[in-house]
A = this chain, B = another copy of it.
Amino acid sequence: MITYDALLEQFKQLLKQNGLKFTKQRELILKFLYENEGHFTPEDIYMLMKKNHPDVTIGIATVYRTLTLLEKEGIASSISFGVQGKKYELGEKEHHDHLICTRCGKIIEFFDDIIEQRQEAIAKQYNFKMQDHTMKIVGLCETCQQEEK
């Protein structure tokens, strides 16, 4: 588990390498993702930001721009929920897939070697140069199965 200081340093390096600037807003968003386990929409982050840091002005556009940047740099990653938008998480961890509860929205992460291997094999079989892959299993989590009754 990387420390926040190391992550921050890494981020600063990336910014410098690309001629970008280190701002209060970018720092706060990075910090937020580091401190909060879980998956958040840009809206979530924007709201919590305004609430927890009333002293810093921040616009929703900046949240979107920063999340896009973090994802491009490989620091964050997102899962898409179709029309309902995306949710972001810190992405320094290993690749993983998601189980999503359709009732309460809970997201469970998992990783399966066999699935990963089959994906590579399939891409190869169709002469596809794989850039990314996602898999989502949607259903009812344990708790919600009980409460459905």
Residues on A facing B (Cβ under 8 Å)? 80, 82-83, 85-86, 99, 101-102, 108, 110, 112, 114-115, 118-119, 122-123, 126-142, 145
Contacts and interface: CB of A to CB of B under 8 A. Distances in A.
Contact of A131 (B80, B133, B139, B142): B139
Copies of this protein in the assembly total: 2
A48 to B, nearest CB: 22
A145 B82 CA distance: 27
Contact of A126 (B108, B118, B122, B133): B108
Contact of A115 (B115, B123, B129, B141): B115
Contact of A138 (B86, B115, B131, B137): B131
Contact of A128 (B99, B118, B129, B132): B99
Contact of A130 (B83, B126, B129, B139): B139
A135 B134 contact: yes
A121 to B, nearest CB: 8
A137 B122 contact: yes
